[in-house]
Amino acid sequence: MSGNEIKPDHFRVRPGHQVRLADWSTDTTDGFEGTKEDRATLLASLNERLGDLQQMLYAESKNKVLIVLQGMDSSGKDGTIKHVFRTINPLGVRVANFKRPNDVELAHDYLWRVHEQAPRNGRITIFNRSHYEDVLVVRVNDLVPPHVWRRRFEHIRGFEQMLADEGTTIIKVFLHISKEEQRARLQERLDNPAKHWKFEHGDVAERAHWDAYTEAYQQAISETSTDDAPWYIIPGNHKWYRNLVVSQLLVDKLQSLEMRYPDPIDGIADIRITD
C-alpha cells in the first residue's frame, strides 16, 4: 500500500488461517503517509460517507449490519465507537455491551442474551464485547472446563452463519495493541483524574493474563473467521490509524450492499406546500 490509500482487506483473516498475533503488527500505519491535517480530513470524509450510507440502510430497510468489537482491555473499543460513528443517526444504530451475565442470563444458554440483540432490518448494531467472551474470559479464568468452551466454536460459527443467511452483514474487528501500549493506556487512566472512572482494580489482574488471552484470541479468531463472518485484525497502537481503517472498512462493506433509496410515493412531484 502506498500514498494515503487505506485497504482494510489487508487485515482480513482468511478462513482456515491459523492466527499468530505476534505476526500481525500493532504499530503499522501502512497506507497513510499524510500529515495530521490529512488524517483529520480523510476521517471527516469517511464519517460523512458512512453517515450517508447508514441513512440509506435505514431508509431502504432491507439489510442489517452487525459489528463485533473485541480486544484486550484498553484496546480502544469505546474510542472506536466514538470517533467512527460520530455522524451516524442514533435512530439507526445501537450499541450492545455484554458484561458479566446476570442470574436470568446464566439460567439460559450462553447465546440467548446475544441473539436478542442482533440487528433488525435497516439497523446497525455494535457489539462492544460479545458472545466471544464465552470462549475468552471463561477459558482464561477456568469458569468452564475445556471441553465446554472448545465446542462453542462450532456453535458460534453456526450462529453467525444463520445470521448471515438471514441477511445480516457481519464485520468482526479485533483491535490489536501491544502489551507496552496497554501499560501506557492503563497508566494514563491512573494519572489523569478525568479517566479515573475507567480504571478498575481488575484491570491489573486481567493484565497478568496477557499471554493466556493472546492464546485464547488466536484460537477464537482462527476457528471463527469465515467467508460470511470474517475477522479483521486492526493495528491499534495508533488511535488515528485505527479509526481510519475501521471507517474505511465499514464504508466498503456498506457500499458493497448496493443500496438505494425507496421509490417516492405516487404523485409526489405534484405536491406543493403553500402555507
Q: Can you tell me the distance from the alpha carbon of 98 to that of 78, in angstroms, rounded to the nearest whole number? A: 13
- CA proximity to 236, closest of 165, 184, 174: 174
Each residue's pLDDT tens digit, 19-70: 999 999 999 998 788 899 999 999 999 999 999 999 999 999 999 999 999 9
**DSSP H helix total and E strand total for the chain:** 10, 5
For position 1, what pLDDT does the model report? 37
Question: Which residues neighbour 159 within 8 Å (Cβ) at sequence distance 6 or greater?
Answer: 111, 114, 115, 131
The CA distance from 46 to 27, in Å, is 22
pLDDT band at 206 (very low <50, low <70, confident <90, very high): confident
Interval 232-252: pLDDT, tens: 999 999 999 999 999 999 999
Contact predicate 152/110, CB 8 Å = yes
Contact 178, 74 (CB under 8 A): no
- pLDDT score recorded for residue 3: 54
Asked if 30 contacts 133 with a C-beta cutoff of 8 angstroms, the reply is: no
Give the C-alpha separation, 67 to 254, whole Å: 12
**130-180 residue pLDDT tens:** 999 999 999 999 999 999 999 999 999 999 999 999 999 999 999 999 999
| Percent of the chain whose pLDDT exceeds 90 | 81
The CATH superfamily holding the domain 8-259 is P-loop containing nucleotide triphosphate hydrolases (3.40.50.300)
Phi, psi of 274 (to 5 degrees): -105, -15
* 6: three-class secondary structure by DSSP: coil
Residue 102 near residue 112 (C-beta atoms within 8 A): no
Q: Rounded CA gap, 113 and 108, in Å? A: 8
- Cell 485464547 belongs to residue: 216
Q: How far apart are CA 61 and CA 70, in angstroms?
A: 27
Band of residue 270 on the pLDDT scale cut at 50, 70, 90: confident
Check whether 188 has a pLDDT greater than 70.
yes
3-state secondary structure of 150: helix
Q: Determine the Cα–Cα distance for residues 62 and 75; give it in Å rounded to an integer.
A: 33
